[in-house]
Chains A and B, each alone.
Chain A
Amino acid sequence: MIDTIVPTPTDAEEPKVVDGPAKMSARDVSVYYGEKQALKGVSVDIHDDKVTAFIGPSGCGKSTFLRCLNRMNDTIAGARVTGDIKLDGEDIYGSRMDVVQLRARVGMVFQKPNPFPKSIYENVAYGPRIHGLASGKSELDEIVEKSLRRAGLWDEVKERLQESGTALSGGQQQRLCIARAIAVDPEVILMDEPCSALDPIATAKIEELIHELRGRYAIAIVTHNMQQAARVSQRTAFFHLGEMVEYGRTKDIFTNPRQQRTQDYITGRYG
């Protein structure tokens, strides 16, 4: 298990876990679904230029936490969030923060590829259009092309932009969803188990893509696949039973965890 970890070059240059100011920082975040408490006092930072992975067994609250970061939990009836989440020092649950604007700045890719049942072009153009990011057709075309290129999908679909997005293969659909997310030029991208519905080849492509996107966006990824976390991330947070057990450099978490529970999970004793 530990042998599979491929340390990325940036890790070697970093002497300590203490980084510069975080892009997003969560402090003491708790989430309740009605009476049930799903998250207990979680504190995590997400940094620019780094991929932060959330790992842990099913039902540990990692997806719940991710959905707090762009307030997708608002849509669930009976969900209540306490604590502090800041984006560039601004409280995202504060009264001054507009939730629509927040979601444009913090994009999201979901577990199951969920393209709109519209053309490939429309899928990508939808976000820029509702936010008024393009002033004309040619500018919109440019954004669509740029986003599809960054998502590594352009060469596969440039001949058939008007075909339905749902006609693509699973891996292509997920990359289309990533293109859709980056089309609105977000600062942070949240990915909720983006590869869990994909085959190994499509997964490899998405992971490659995450590497490429890392320089441009702060990325947080939820995964139940530990090798994947080791491959794509620089920071890892381990969740268990609604608590954040350990947070640190991916290399440290996988090779030298400080907590017994982390150790047990990584070595496959439960989860």
Chain B
Amino acid sequence: MQKRIAQRYSAERRFRLFGLAAVSLSIAFLAFLLISMAWKGLGGFTQTEAKLIIDFPRSNLFLEQATLRGPQAQEAVASAGLEGVLEQAATAQFGEGAGELFGAASARALGNQLVADPEILTRKAELWLPVSSKADVAAKGDGDPAIEQLVAKADTKRTFNSGFLTASDATDPSVVGVWGALKGSFLTILVTMALAFPIGVLAALYLEEFATRNRWTDMIEVSINNLAAVPSIIFGLLGLAVFLNFMHLPRSAPLVGGLTLALMTMPVIVIAGRNAIKSVPPSIRDAALGVGASKMQVVFHHVLPLALPGILTGTIIGMARALGETAPLLMIGMRAFIASPPQGISEPASVLPVQIFLWSDEVDRGFVEKTSAAIIVLLVFMLIMNGLAIYLRNKFERRW
């Protein structure tokens, strides 16, 4: 007897130990993931700037102050050949080959400074300009030694790269941003939500509350359960065949992406919804029926509000999965290079996970930290969305 009790206690201790080990292992993995992500990615949010002296009166720049004050200022700046001016000034200041220090981002920043203050054109100016991608990578200690020496000569500082959050995809890593992909993701998820949530919830309600149980409803139930387990790339193929080839909807658009992801998310919502509806106590249905509520009133006044927290939990899971989905979107053409944010749901767009996938494929070293930074943006976006959903769920949660 005594021995048995000792055995039982040690079994319990062993089980606790295993559980603790499992939890700490997963926490360690999570911490490793987050720390390495932050380590690599946070650099993507900063940009190295270098001080450059440009003698504008002596440079061969054909820009009038009047033009810069006019409405065509941006166009004039864009076509003025600022890159040439930068190269000239850099060579003069840092020696032969220093043109590599400055690139597209530098020219853009110079243009903006000129438009903001055309007076600069009249004098020899000292300006802080973002350096080229190569120089940026070198400044962060991961680049070409030759350029690293060049950077060492210059007066540099790190600033927050606001362009990363406001710009879209580009070929030069120093001017890329996630805004286009973020907006594309937002529009796509909006379409998914608008379709999958109501249809999924109504389907769950109908199957659970109204449909009589027979061979057909059994078959539908099995099909829905199977659909939830279908690999996402197959939904991509379905979207390609139905929405693009048959319905001729615009390629690469959030509309098509949202439709495809809605197909993928709906089974998850239906299953979660049915479970939530099943867990509403039958006594509530009896109570409502007992005072003469119709079936419809029972469902919409009592069952649905009580099931809503559970349904929302399922929806959060489905939406989070849809937001991070890449494969089906590749199939419907969302891997195209899109340099401007979409203006509507039928315009070509990129989404964050696909953007991350595309950047991770780039040869340019400058994209490495941009990829990690984009992952951070995606994770933050997801956290905000889930936080909102959890807030809503708790708001609707009621005891019975």
Interface 0/1 of A106-117, CB less than 8 Å to B: 011110101111
Pick from B212, B213, B294, B306: contact of A117, CB under 8 Å: B306
Given A164-B399, A166-B399: A114 and B283 within 8 A (CB)?
yes
Q: B305 to chain A: closest CB distance in Å? A: 8
- Hey, which chain B residues are within 8 Å of A126, CB to CB? 288, 291, 293, 301
Smallest CB gap from A123: residue in B: B287
| B290→A72 contact, CB < 8 A | yes
B119 at interface, CB cutoff 8 A:
no
B292 CB-CB contact with A under 8 Å = yes
Asked whether A75 lies within 8 Å of B399 as measured between CB atoms, the reply is no
A77 within 8 A of B: yes
- Measured in the bound complex, the distance between the Cα atoms of B297 and A166 in whole Å is 21
**Chain A 80-118 residues near chain B, CB threshold 8 A:** 100-104, 107-110, 112, 114-117
Given contacts A114-B284, A116-B284, A117-B306, whether A108 and B399 have CB atoms under 8 Å apart is: no
Minimal beta-carbon separation of A173 from chain B (angstroms)? 11
Q: Let me know if B286 is at the binding interface, CB within 8 A.
A: yes
Residue of B nearest to A108 (CB): B290
A12 at the interface (CB under 8 A from B): no
For window 252-304 of chain B, which residues contact chain A by CB distance below 8 Å?
Answer: 281, 283-294, 297, 301-302
Out of A70, A75, A100, A112, which one reaches B283, CB within 8 Å? A112
User: Main SS of the interface on chain A?
Assistant: helix
Contact assessment for B297 and A130 in the assembled complex, using a CB-CB cutoff below 8 Å:
yes
Q: Are B291 and A181 in contact (CB under 8 A)?
A: yes
A115 CA / B291 CA spacing, docked (Å): 12
Cβ of B14 under 8 Å from chain A = no
- Report if A100-B285 is in contact (Cβ < 8 Å); known contacts: A77-B212, A117-B399, A117-B400: no
Contact indicator B289/A103 (Cβ below 8 Å): yes
Q: Shortest beta-carbon distance, B306 to chain A, in Å? A: 7
Given contacts A164-B399, A166-B399, contact A116 B292 (CB under 8 A): no
Complex interface residues of chain A between 45 and 86 (CB less than 8 A to chain B):
70, 72, 75, 77
Pick the contact of A101 from B281, B292, B297 — CB < 8 Å? B292
Q: Does any Cβ of A come within 8 Å of B124's Cβ? A: no
* Distance between Cα atoms of A164 and B398 in the complex (Å): 10
A110–B399 CB distance below 8 A: no
B218 to chain A, nearest CB (A): 14
In the complex, the answer to whether B291 meets A180 with C-beta atoms within 8 Å is yes
Q: Is A177 an interface residue (CB 8 A)?
A: yes
Which chain B residues (37-67) contact chain A, with CB distance < 8 Å? none
CB nearest neighbor in B for A117: B400
Decide if A103 touches B291 in the complex (CB within 8 Å).
Answer: yes
C-alpha gap A131/B306 in the complex (Å): 22
Nearest-Cβ distance from residue A132 to partner chain B, whole angstroms: 11
Residues on the B chain within 8 Å of A164, using CB: 399
The interface centre, meaning the residue of B284, B287, B288, B297 with most chain A CB atoms within 10 A of its CB, is B287
B398 pairs with A117, CB closer than 8 A: yes
Contacts of A77 in B (CB 8 A): 212-213
Chain A residues contacting B213 (CB-CB under 8 Å) are 77
Report the separation of the CA atoms of residues A100 and B291 in the bound assembly, to the nearest whole angstrom: 8
A127 at the interface (CB under 8 A from B): yes
Contacts of B286 in A (CB 8 A): 72, 75, 108, 110, 114
Cβ of A177 and Cβ of B292 under 8 Å apart? no
Which residues 291-325 in B have Cβ within 8 Å of A in the complex? 291-294, 297, 301-302, 306
Is A127 within 8 A of B292, CB to CB?
Answer: yes
Which residues of chain A have C-beta atoms less than 8 A from B290's C-beta? 70, 72, 103, 107-110, 181
Query: Which residues of A sit under 8 angstroms from B283, Cβ to Cβ?
Result: 110, 112, 114
Residue from B292, B301, B399 in contact with A131 in the complex, judged by beta carbons closer than 8 Å: B292
Contact B287 A116 (CB under 8 A): yes
A251 CB, nearest partner CB in chain B, Å: 31
Determine if A100 and B287 form an interchain contact, defined as CB atoms under 8 angstroms apart: no
Within the assembled complex, what's the spacing in Å between the Cα atoms of A39 and B399? 37
Q: How far is the CA of A85 from the CA of B281 in the complex (A)?
A: 29
With CB as the reference atom, state the residue of chain B lying closest to A118.
B398
Question: Within the assembled complex, what's the spacing in Å between the Cα atoms of A131 and B297?
Answer: 11
> In the complex, what residue of chain A is closest to B286 when comparing beta carbons?
A110
Encode contact with B along A179-206: 1 for CB under 8 Å, 0 otherwise. Answer: 0110110000000000000000000000
Q: How far is the CA of A34 from the CA of B10 in the complex (A)?
A: 51
A28–B146 CA distance with the chains assembled, in angstroms: 103
State A124–B174 Cα separation when bound (angstroms): 66
Known: A72-B286, A102-B292, A126-B293. 7 other contacts (CB 8 A): A75-B286, A104-B291, A110-B286, A116-B284, A127-B292, A130-B301, A183-B291
